[in-house]
Structure 1
Amino acid sequence: MSENKEKKGEENVQADRMGTMAYSSKDNESMHKSLNGEFILYQILLKQILDGKFSLNLNEKSLYEHFQASDPKDKSTYKEFDKKYKASKAINWYTRESCVYKTLNKALRTQDTKNTSPFATFIKDLNTQLTKEHQIFIKQQKTPTIQLYRGQFLSKDELNRLKTSHGELISMNSFLSTSKNRKKAFEFAKSRTPPSDDLISILLELNVNINSITKPYADIERYSDFQDEEEILFVFGSMFRMDNVQFDEKNNLWIVTLTLCANDDPDIKQFLSILEKETKGQNSLVSIGNNLMEMNKFDDAYAHLERLFNNKLLTDPFDCVQCHLMVGKVEEKRGNYNASIDQFNNGLDCLLKESTLKDHQLISQCYNSLGYVYCKLKEYEKAFQYFELALNSKTNDLSLTYLGLAKIHFKMTNYHLSLEYLQKILHSKPEPSHAIITKTNIYIGSIYATMNNNEEATKYFDKVIELQIRKLSKDHPDLGYTYDAIGLMYLENNAEQKAYEYFLKAYQLQSQSLPNNHPDFAKTFTNFGNYYMKIKDLDNALIYYEKALENQSKTLSWRHPSVVESYLILGNTYWKKRNFDQAAIYFDKVLKSELAREKIAESSLSLSYKTLGDLYYDKFYVYLDKKILDEALDFYLNDLKIELKVKLHEDLSLVDLYKRIAEIFYKKHNYGQALLHYNRLLDSYYKNLPINQIKIDEIYEIIAKIYLKRHHFNETLLYYQNQSNENENKHEHIDDIYFEKRYLDQSLNYFQDKLLKYRKNSSQLKDIYYILGNISYDKQDYDQSLKYFFKLFNKNLKKQNFNDLALKYIYEAIAMNYFHKQNYNQSLTYFYRLIECLLMNNTKNYSFIDKIYNLIGKIYLDKDYTIQYLSAKEKNQGIDHLPMNNSQFEKYYLEQTLMHFQNLLKNNKKKNDSLGDIYRIIANIYLKKRDFNQSLIYFHQSINYQLEKSLSLAQTYILIGEIYRKQHLLNYALQSYQDSLNILQHIQSRDQSLIDNIQKKIRKINSYSI
């Protein structure tokens, strides 16, 4: 390419390079056949273009419409091209320094079929014009051979490929511009520093036999903007033979020597024959997608094939079938297994509908492909079904099916069955390809190594190496697979140094013969990482695991299963280093990749949540930060949620998860949730035979601790009964409540049985009474609960006085039991005893005392004073178990309660709804004190803060009416009753008996007036 043109294009590095592609006949027979993919792609592409069949749009747009350039100059150039272009001016347009030349070469270099398509006619015209110019050029030559030169950048990967391609066919991925002037080309190669580490400068030396019939090339100097360039242009796809690669140490420059091949070259004829055979019956546009896939350009392949569907370029139904199957293969490579299955099934459905295709070999290919994908999904039963269908197909390639069955049995640890299928491959007729034989022998050796039969494994590995060297060469990358397998065998047998030597052999071969984005590197880097893990060198292990991930990221998406596996490996390695933050980053990537899948695999997602839960749980014990524990809990709960989508609650596989969740809730003092999950744990043990009584007793020991730690009885330990669950399935919610009640009964029976085992003077009785009182309380059997708490109370009184601090939780329990029984007088007595106990012991827990007063306040809100204060005195609703002067005691604490709520009133600056409750509480206390005037004042104040037409407001008016009637202020009483009646008659939950009672009072007052 001309120096001036190159300098103008230096802002784009790609303008200074020309990609080379090698075709190796040996690679074509190896497990690295895909290395020929790029070479084949360009030959198919060129043929399609020259045949006038390459278009990716039914109605090809103009360059201006297609590229929609933002640069004004480029816009103008595209418009000019669309308007003025003529076939006779193709070379002029190519040599002109413009966006047309740059965009075309970039599209060709990068295998961008979408942006190559608009140039198809232009490329064909270039070929036609070059062919004409070629005839003129040949006639002008005075010697049978000429030498041409080109200075350019080349990637190190391409150079390595050229080094191993002596005598092989070489092609270029764009139009090749060369010069007759070696000095200028040499200076051009030397004058620039490569812009990146992966590029080097080279000098191409091309030997051309003028008399050979070849693809067209010509002197285009007279068309060029630069008349002194002596420029010879070759059409893209021209084929050369690789003669030599040598390093010129004196000039610090690589020299690559090529010879242009004639069209009748035996190797070209053989290549074209193989290509025709392999693509026979295949749509060429679909073949391009296949070769993009072979080049590991999976996203490009998918986009290309989708374009064929979207633009309706496949009119033949059979072509559509081929495209579906190719998309299926691409999706499998991309790690989108469910999408792959859909595509294979689409193709299979089309084939099965056509009676003429019932025995077509593509049907068995579909079955095999589906078997392989289901194997990757670990759905082995389905995989077996499809391989069975393949076996029953007339046109099946048995070696593919046997290999698939061998893989399944290996994964299921059925090693002998796996070996049987692999031996069937080796004895198949006709004989399988060299690649299949090699792959099978390596697999057999690896299975023997897994079975610890290293002697037999070594026999197979040696056999493979001998075969590979004989058929390919000692430097062929296929040997890397064998060396890696041998290295893994040694690593498993703790021969770490030998393992390292073989991994190094594999890597050295790969470095010399493969592009740096080849997936073989990731496997070898991972093996190096495993080696360093084995010798406990975590830092070096991380370096190689990171290299493996870097390699995968060049061709695979961030959520590809192989990439996810690397995330897991890195996460676990950082975890072993106790670097929790870095481990979390990688495990979080795993989780996000699972959530991003089109069809979420519950087992993988569950494992992702569990792994993060385990990590944060471990981290908590290092830092003792409760926030970390909360994060662990969130992950475990998500794990459980996923597990319960496919498992019953009592599934024995959930016991560890229940136990861990319960432990965390216990540490967080969330005893209700802890109890729930311990009960779930119990359920799993009870419902799976044989019953493990030791485990059950261990769980009940923890449940006992939960009940013994329960000190505040205004909070229930029942989780589901405490949930409204308005948005959840009501039937599930009822089942959950039933479960909770069932395990309350079971716990009650367990601890009652335990109670019978203790003697009357046993010190353990106190704990059992407390536990049984708790359980009965949660069962809402308040009489039974009181029975146990009074037994505990009396047992404590033998050694302690009434104000001993050890009694405080018993007072609270008794008070709450009476509260729920609506025995408010007794409830108040024990709440007052609790306060007395706390104050007498100088307890500074004022928040606890405030909570007690809040509960007392609820009593004064809940007590029905409407009827009670018609009589002079309240009736005692229970028997006081405390032999004290209750009236003096309660009178004192009634005053204390009044003071508490009056202080609350003073300190409450916000005029909110709670003020209404405080006013009502104070009013009710004054009512209890029979201070009617003060009671009226506070009741009237409360009206301002109560909701209109609420039951509490109606009750307030009734109480006001009662007080006025007691004071013989009948008109005021009548008005209050009528206000109450007006509310009661319009609220949703009408209490007819209360309405009747009020109406009776109104009639009675009215009768006095008469």
Structure 2
Amino acid sequence: MGLIKHSSATRNLMIIWYHQKNVAPDVLRQMKIYLRKNFNYSCVFNNKEDLITYLASDLVIKQIVFIISNDDEKETLAVERLVKRRGQFRGLYRLELGKYNLSACSNITEVRFIIEKMVNEIINDLQKTQQSVESSEHMNDNKETVIDTSTPVFDTFKSVSAQTTFCNLSNESLKFLLFQALTELMVRTEYNKEDFELMWNLCHQEYMKDEVEAKKIRTFAKEYKPEKAIKYYTQDSCFFRLVNQAFRLEDFNSIFRFGCYIADLHDQIEKLGREQRQNGSKNGKTYYRGKPYSIDVIQQFKDSIGHLIALNGLLSTTDNYMTSTVFAGMGETQDDYQSVIFEFNIDSSTTGLIRPYANINGSSACQDEEEVLFFMGFVWKIESMKKIGNNDWYIVLQSCTDYNPELITYIEQARCHCPYMTVGNILQELGDHASATNFYQRMLLDETLSDKTRISVYCNIAALAEDQGRYFDAVNYLIQAQNFIKSTALQNSEVPAQPKPLFAHNIAPSQLNLFNNMARAYMKAEKYQSARKYFEDALQQKGSNIERATVLNNYGLLEYTCRNIEQAEKYFQQAVELAKNDACCSEFKHNLQLIGNHVLKETKMVDAEPKPAQ
């Protein structure tokens, strides 16, 4: 996926998207992908009161662009008046969803087109009003080269229900879960000589145009020893820069390629930290870190107060407060950046710290520095944040031992069930189709993979193909999945209606689900007769009420597309009756209401026609 190189016109700017509650999951997913790819920070609201509360808070960000998607013109005008009063107001755009509010959008290509058109319009407008573009970009790009080199990206996890779906999570929460799953995958994988060879080859390839650094990589490969992992990381070397670059750019394939080294680093930090605590190190400790951050990132920290955060790379800290102020650049003029001092509080007397940390002074390449290194994915809770000067901030964090219960469930299940699958699923939700496919394909190479898991992998690859508009490829992958379904699977329908709950692991699709997905793919490929056949086949299979309701709802969407209004209403009605109080029922009811409006209007038109004379 990698870090998106956003336009300089979007720097230190925030996007707020306010939408009505019945936006289709497919549309919601696509919008979040485009926001992430084009803007540094965005927030999504579907409740007017929540938006009012947020705007009334003490915001750090100075520029906000608003996007509104709402069919209610009266409410839209009220929200427009509200946001235009804000001092941070930079622009307002309407994203008309209209016909895309059915619970399963059949034309996702058109949705992408209207979203991309609007995003391009926003960026073009911002670029037109940007002043001194060349000089500003030159200064900021130079500064970012220094600032970002060793600054890990962070993501936030906000409390959710175990039944929350991926599409309802923010991009930040998704990436938080992604790095937790990726960390589990890397530190628990058993590596061999071939894995290290692939890593060194990757490094060597990076320095093809630099014979000096390439030679250093060859030397590293010959002399590498697992017990010196910390020393390699703390050396100002080409290897150190490549590892940090992979984390900074969120290049998940490269991060995974470094997995064999990261696992060695984890083991050495864990062993060193355990020895230090056994030898009587203090149970409680405070550490500091100082860094300049852009205003949009500082706003993100402020929005995360009271929530869990995790830095996606390794975190270097010191117990010397004054040292942190130097690294933060306090008192210096930093253009669009402000100084941040972090206070990290550790209570190591508890047993809930999942990730290791240690004072690495004796193992570091820099022996004279009292550096404490925290392993990637270490979870913190932001306790408070205050301004201590014109452009200086002080953030207090506490090591998180009382994890959110749902997060504990997620991490523990990630340890036990298919971490490749978990990583692939989140990458898919974030719109990184290439990386997701790579992780799924790695699973298929495993000859010991169970049929149950292999079915799920093929279904996920099919979903990726469908999302990219390759509908016939999706059908072919689903056919391969069908070949692995055994007769016993037909009696055990385990999969809930789409979308799947966040914490559903190791669940194999049933025949009913496969037929439903094949019908959806054919419908999007505009092969409506084939779609009807597979919807009918799906309804002949055994399954739960909510599974059957999902098929009927999709069947209703097909009949609506084919202008069979009465038949569509029939299927929507049956879906609502079967779903009852399930979470999906509100979507089914919305579709029934929409189709009911069509039937009512058609009935009135028929009644209004002049009657023939008797």
Q: Matched residue of 1:221: which SS?
A: coil
With over 3 angstroms needed to count, the CA separation of the structure-2 counterparts of 1:350 and 1:280, relative to structure 1, is: farther
Q: Matched residue of 1:207: which SS?
A: strand
With over 3 angstroms needed to count, the CA separation of the structure-2 counterparts of 1:142 and 1:285, relative to structure 1, is: closer
The answer as to 2:346 corresponding to 1:208 is yes
CA contact (8 A) 1:23 1:39 kept: yes
Equivalent position amino acid for 2:533 in 1: Q
CA contact (8 A) 2:184 2:415 kept: no
CA contact (8 A) 1:314 1:320 kept: no
**C-alpha separation between the residues in 1 aligned to 2:449 and 2:149?**
39
Trace 1:596-675 onto structure 2 (pairs within 5 A). Answer: none
**C-alpha separation between the residues in 1 aligned to 2:367 and 2:588?**
60
**C-alpha separation between the residues in 1 aligned to 2:358 and 2:217?**
26
Q: Of the candidates 439, 458, 468, which is equivalent to residue 304 of structure 1?
A: 439
1:350 is matched with: 484
Equivalent position amino acid for 1:366 in 2: L
Query: How far is the alpha carbon of 1:430 from its aligned partner?
Result: 7.8
CA contact (8 A) 2:231 2:364 kept: yes
Structure label with greater radius of gyration:
1
Q: Of the candidates 200, 214, 228, which is equivalent to residue 64 of structure 1?
A: 200
Equivalent position amino acid for 2:254 in 1: N
Query: How far is the alpha carbon of 1:419 from its aligned partner?
Result: 5.0
1:135 is matched with: 274
Q: Matched residue of 2:236: which SS?
A: coil
1:403 is matched with: 553
CA contact (8 A) 2:516 2:551 kept: yes
**C-alpha separation between the residues in 1 aligned to 2:301 and 2:455?**
37
With over 3 angstroms needed to count, the CA separation of the structure-2 counterparts of 1:452 and 1:86, relative to structure 1, is: farther
**C-alpha separation between the residues in 2 aligned to 1:320 and 1:342?**
15
**C-alpha separation between the residues in 1 aligned to 2:213 and 2:560?**
59
The answer as to 2:550 corresponding to 1:412 is no
Query: How far is the alpha carbon of 1:245 from its aligned partner?
Result: 4.4
**C-alpha separation between the residues in 2 aligned to 1:238 and 1:276?**
15
Q: Of the candidates 243, 246, 252, which is equivalent to residue 107 of structure 1?
A: 246
Aligned length: 433
**C-alpha separation between the residues in 2 aligned to 1:149 and 1:244?**
15
Q: Of the candidates 211, 225, 233, which is equivalent to residue 94 of structure 1?
A: 233
Q: Matched residue of 1:378: which SS?
A: coil
2:455 is matched with: 321
User: Relative contact order (C-alpha < 8 Å, sep 6+): which is higher?
Assistant: 2
1:378 is matched with: 526
Query: How far is the alpha carbon of 1:388 from its aligned partner?
Result: 2.3
**C-alpha separation between the residues in 2 aligned to 1:106 and 1:449?**
55
Q: Matched residue of 2:373: which SS?
A: strand
Write the deviation string for residues 714-736 of structure 1: whole angstroms up to 9, x where unpaired: xxxxxxxxxxxxxxxxxxxxxxx
Q: What are the ranges of 5 or more consecutive residues in structure 2 without an aligned counterpart?
A: 1-141, 494-508, 602-614
The answer as to 2:189 corresponding to 1:52 is yes
**C-alpha separation between the residues in 1 aligned to 2:322 and 2:596?**
60
With over 3 angstroms needed to count, the CA separation of the structure-2 counterparts of 1:305 and 1:142, relative to structure 1, is: closer
Identity of aligned residues (%): 23
**C-alpha separation between the residues in 2 aligned to 1:138 and 1:23?**
29
With over 3 angstroms needed to count, the CA separation of the structure-2 counterparts of 1:124 and 1:321, relative to structure 1, is: same
With over 3 angstroms needed to count, the CA separation of the structure-2 counterparts of 1:410 and 1:84, relative to structure 1, is: same
Determine which structure has the larger helix proportion and give its number.
Answer: 1
With over 3 angstroms needed to count, the CA separation of the structure-2 counterparts of 1:316 and 1:26, relative to structure 1, is: closer
The answer as to 2:145 corresponding to 1:145 is no
CA contact (8 A) 2:253 2:435 kept: no
1:188 is matched with: 327
2:542 is matched with: 394
CA contact (8 A) 2:549 2:579 kept: no
**C-alpha separation between the residues in 2 aligned to 1:255 and 1:448?**
56
With over 3 angstroms needed to count, the CA separation of the structure-2 counterparts of 1:256 and 1:390, relative to structure 1, is: farther
Q: Matched residue of 2:457: which SS?
A: helix
2:501 is matched with: none
CA contact (8 A) 2:306 2:383 kept: yes
The answer as to 2:424 corresponding to 1:289 is yes
Q: Matched residue of 1:170: which SS?
A: strand
With over 3 angstroms needed to count, the CA separation of the structure-2 counterparts of 1:281 and 1:127, relative to structure 1, is: closer
Query: How far is the alpha carbon of 1:317 from its aligned partner?
Result: 5.1
1:271 is matched with: 407
Q: Matched residue of 2:149: which SS?
A: helix
Q: Matched residue of 1:131: which SS?
A: helix
**C-alpha separation between the residues in 2 aligned to 1:54 and 1:443?**
51
**C-alpha separation between the residues in 1 aligned to 2:246 and 2:484?**
34
With over 3 angstroms needed to count, the CA separation of the structure-2 counterparts of 1:451 and 1:245, relative to structure 1, is: farther
Query: How far is the alpha carbon of 1:373 from its aligned partner?
Result: 1.9
**C-alpha separation between the residues in 2 aligned to 1:108 and 1:200?**
23
Equivalent position amino acid for 1:93 in 2: Y
CA contact (8 A) 1:289 1:304 kept: yes
Query: How far is the alpha carbon of 1:423 from its aligned partner?
Result: 5.0
Write the deviation string for residues 420-470 of structure 1: whole angstroms up to 9, x where unpaired: 54454554468423xx345445545655677798xxxxxxxxxxxxxxxxx
Equivalent position amino acid for 2:202 in 1: H
Query: How far is the alpha carbon of 1:224 from its aligned partner?
Result: 3.2
CA contact (8 A) 1:216 1:235 kept: yes
**C-alpha separation between the residues in 1 aligned to 2:530 and 2:416?**
30
CA contact (8 A) 2:147 2:291 kept: no
1:168 is matched with: 307
Query: How far is the alpha carbon of 1:260 from its aligned partner?
Result: 0.9
Q: Matched residue of 2:262: which SS?
A: helix
Equivalent position amino acid for 2:426 in 1: N
The answer as to 2:226 corresponding to 1:76 is no
Query: How far is the alpha carbon of 1:276 from its aligned partner?
Result: 5.5
Write the deviation string for residues 696-730 of structure 1: whole angstroms up to 9, x where unpaired: xxxxxxxxxxxxxxxxxxxxxxxxxxxxxxxxxxx
Instruction: Give the TM-score taking structure 1 as reference length.
Output: 0.39
Equivalent position amino acid for 1:150 in 2: R
CA contact (8 A) 2:309 2:381 kept: yes
CA contact (8 A) 1:63 1:79 kept: no
CA contact (8 A) 2:576 2:585 kept: yes
Instruction: Give the TM-score taking structure 2 as reference length.
Output: 0.61
Equivalent position amino acid for 1:42 in 2: F
Equivalent position amino acid for 2:561 in 1: K
CA contact (8 A) 2:243 2:255 kept: yes
Query: How far is the alpha carbon of 1:92 from its aligned partner?
Result: 0.8
Equivalent position amino acid for 2:550 in 1: L
Q: Matched residue of 1:212: which SS?
A: coil
Q: Of the candidates 180, 200, 205, which is equivalent to residue 43 of structure 1?
A: 180
CA contact (8 A) 1:16 1:152 kept: no
CA contact (8 A) 1:45 1:54 kept: no
The answer as to 2:160 corresponding to 1:26 is yes
CA contact (8 A) 1:34 1:294 kept: no
**C-alpha separation between the residues in 1 aligned to 2:482 and 2:490?**
10
1:243 is matched with: 383
With over 3 angstroms needed to count, the CA separation of the structure-2 counterparts of 1:16 and 1:275, relative to structure 1, is: closer
With over 3 angstroms needed to count, the CA separation of the structure-2 counterparts of 1:343 and 1:163, relative to structure 1, is: farther
Trace 1:203-602 onto structure 2 (pairs within 5 A). Answer: 203-213=341-351, 214=353, 215-246=355-386, 248=387, 250-262=389-401, 265-267=402-404, 269-274=405-410, 283-309=418-444, 312-316=445-449, 318=451, 319-351=453-485, 354-359=486-491, 361=493, 362=509, 363-395=511-543, 397-415=547-565, 417-418=567-568, 420-428=570-578, 431-433=581-583, 436-440=584-588, 443=591
Q: Matched residue of 1:218: which SS?
A: strand
**C-alpha separation between the residues in 1 aligned to 2:432 and 2:154?**
17
Trace 1:676-825 onto structure 2 (pairs within 5 A). Answer: none
Q: Matched residue of 2:380: which SS?
A: strand
Q: What are the ranges of 5 or more consecutive residues in structure 1 without an aligned counterpart?
A: 1-7, 454-1010
